[in-house]
Chain A
Amino acid sequence: EAGVAQSPRYKIIEKRQSVAFWCNPISGHATLYWYQQILGQGPKLLIQFQNNGVVDDSQLPKDRFSAERLKGVDSTLKIQPAKLEDSAVYLCASSLAIGGSTPYEQYFGPGTRLTVT
């Protein structure tokens, strides 16, 4: 079974530029998550999708971050404009379960490492 795919793996941009990350979840997984992991910290949930609807985006900085999951499969996360403090690894995870019923069944991708200079 193929895992969660993310691209690009690395990205370096200047502050105020825009950037987009892509995630392809495990086939058939209804729930998709985007996390931000700042160096030395644990992952923090940014947004959770169930199929193509948003379940939780309470920690997404909506003035600069946006995300979509068209057709309930792939997802993109965008930052515009980027700030220095956005430097982090952006992890995508997916889960077969709906509604967070099995919180331990999240499978993570390798992440995209973003550096904002």
Chain B
Amino acid sequence: QKEVEQDPGPLSVPEGAIVSLNCTYSNSAFQYFMWYRQYSRKGPELLMYTYSSGNKEDGRFTAQVDKSSKYISLFIRDSQPSDSATYLCAMSAWEYGNKLVFGAGTILRVKS
């Protein structure tokens, strides 16, 4: 079993839809939870991060962490074609030097 599981997709939605991206994990020690966006032939760029449980909102993006279920989500409202990319979740724990452990990434396609 992988430490971090993420459905690779692709997920195809019409412009304006609400997108839900999810990851599950097995290591309860994880404390930081990050979402990265990666465009084709580019490096990952940080979208949002959350420490421990709870919600965080930034514009059209909302990140949720449920540590009791070991489940994290990223919601994108009013999705745009420019949101088409691969979305990677990543997690880290102090006791492992905060080394990032990534999911496989979900490919998102927003059609206009």
Contact of B43 among A4, A40, A44 (CB under 8 A): A4
For the complex, give the distance between the alpha carbons of A101 and B92 in Å. 11
Q: Does B97 contact A43, Cβ atoms closer than 8 Å?
A: no
- Are B104's CB and A56's CB within 8 A? no
A25 located at the interface, meaning its Cβ lies under 8 Å from any Cβ of chain B in the complex: no
| Interface pair B88/A42, CB less than 8 Å apart | yes
Q: Given known contacts A108-B43, A110-B42, is B97 in contact with A100 (CB within 8 Å)?
A: yes
Interface residues on A, range: 20 to 34
Alpha-carbon gap, A100 to B32, bound state (A): 11
Q: Please tell me the number of chain B residues within 8 Å of chain A, measured between CB atoms.
A: 23
**Contact between B104 and A110, CB atoms less than 8 A apart:** no
A102 to B90, CA, bound (A): 13
In the assembled complex, the Cα of A41 lies from the Cα of B32 at a distance in Å of 20
Q: Which residue of A103, A105, A106 has the most chain B CB atoms within 10 A of its CB atom?
A: A103
Which chain A residue lies CB-closest to B34?
A104
Bound CA–CA A106/B98 (angstroms): 11
Beyond the given A45-B100, A93-B43, please list 10 additional residue pairs across the A-B interface where CB-CB is below 8 A. A4-B43, A42-B103, A43-B100, A100-B97, A103-B32, A104-B49, A106-B46, A106-B100, A108-B43, A113-B41
Between-chain CB contacts (< 8 Å), 23 pairs: A40-B105, A42-B4, A42-B6, A42-B102, A43-B100, A43-B102, A44-B102, A45-B99, A45-B100, A48-B97, A48-B99, A56-B97, A99-B97, A100-B97, A100-B99, A103-B32, A103-B92, A103-B98, A104-B32, A104-B34, A105-B46, A108-B43, A108-B45
**Partner-A contacts on B (CB < 8 A):** 4, 6, 8, 32, 34, 41-46, 49, 88, 90, 92, 97-100, 102-105
5 A-B pairs closest in CB distance = A42-B102, A108-B43, A100-B98, A104-B49, A103-B98
A interface with B by C-beta (< 8 Å): 4, 40-45, 48, 55-56, 91, 93, 99-101, 103-106, 108-111, 113
